[in-house]
Chains A and B, each alone.
Chain A
């Protein structure tokens, strides 16, 4: 059963080798219906659906499933759904290879990058594999656009997302991003503030005047490295990257200006580090401070699925 989704995934990645491949777009309710269990919300934001009450969510998901069936993306099978409401609920089988591959990539990545652009509420999730990646772009209206990327296209996509107005200068100049991951970088171009200094009222001048701010985090599943984080401030004509720093053992923040290529290097390193770490054996059932607040969920069976609603 693992071979079929794997071959469909590899087919998508091969089609995305030359350019990003926009595969399909789904709505919140379609995602929830395909996830199959409305009583246990997954971690991916569903902003439109979450604003509805329970009865409306159930109805929306049943309608969504009918829509997916009408588009021949799923085949409804078996008995009618809860309450005997007809073909909108109940068992279904994913019929489209592309949709099956997208769903499998969401559930079988080695690492994930999450980029939240706070200034307009746009979210990007990038599911990373060894040979490619799946980008899920989530709008505040609850639309999920799926694009398959070649591995070396991920950093460019993230750079465009974090710097939407292309404010970073093209000329590399003194570029801290080029030294990313190889030490503290040139002090002259960066501002380092300890948390104690910030607590004392020190102003972060480097971030002033930002037009958009994006928080980027990545997590390698099964590794003990924890999250790696960056914040990208896009200003009118420059881009600042903030990262954690260490000043004599004290936690601190570093703010450094980067060029367009430097921003790409920073993000490529974040992604590349994840890809280098995918060989780390997976540890299951690791619960961190964050996960302790998120209930564990059993993986659904592959193949036939069922839309489960609250009784």
Chain B
């Protein structure tokens, strides 16, 4: 189980120690925020057979990171009562 509850084997290119393309792309897509939701199916479909990415690998990487920081931040939002410090 990962830090944030996602059970994802981290895709690492063991040849050179670099992180695999699927993770890099998923992390890039994450910054687009809600806009990704409109394009998500299109993106998944477009990359299904592209290069070395595998459909399942990209989907798992993307889904595992899609909302994690947001879930934490918006969860905290309900618990705060700001003080002037």
Contact = CB atoms under 8 A, between A and B. Distances in A.
A214 to B, nearest CB: 8
Given A42-B75, A123-B4, A198 B46 contact: yes
Nearest to A51: B1
Contact of A244 (B24, B35, B38, B75): B35
B78 A229 contact: no
Interface string A278-300: 10001000101111011011010
Contacts of B65: 116, 118, 215
B69 A289 contact: no
Interface in A76-125: 104-105, 107-110, 112, 114-116, 118-119, 121-123, 125
Interface in B29-85: 29-36, 38-39, 42-43, 45-47, 50-51, 65, 67-85
Nearest to A226: B33
Given A50-B5, A221-B77, A230 B31 contact: yes
Nearest to B2: A121
Interface size class of B (residues with CB under 8 A): 35 or more
Given A210-B19, A251-B35, A253-B29, A297 B79 contact: yes
A104 B36 CA distance: 36
Given A121-B2, A221-B80, A289 B43 contact: no
Contacts of A45: 3-5, 72
A104 B3 contact: no
Nearest to A141: B3
A155 interface: no
- 4 closest Cβ pairs, A-B complex: A43-B75, A251-B35, A199-B46, A108-B83
Contact of A199 (B5, B31, B42, B78): B42
Contact of B29 (A47, A198, A289): A198
Contacts of B72: 43-45, 114, 125
B80 to A, nearest CB: 5
Interface stretch (A15-23, A54-62, A129-137): A129-137
A108 B80 contact: yes
Given A213-B19, A233-B27, A110 B82 contact: yes
B68 to A, nearest CB: 6
A282 to B, nearest CB: 7
Nearest to B78: A296
B36 A10 contact: no
Interface in A136-191: 138, 140
A2 B67 contact: no
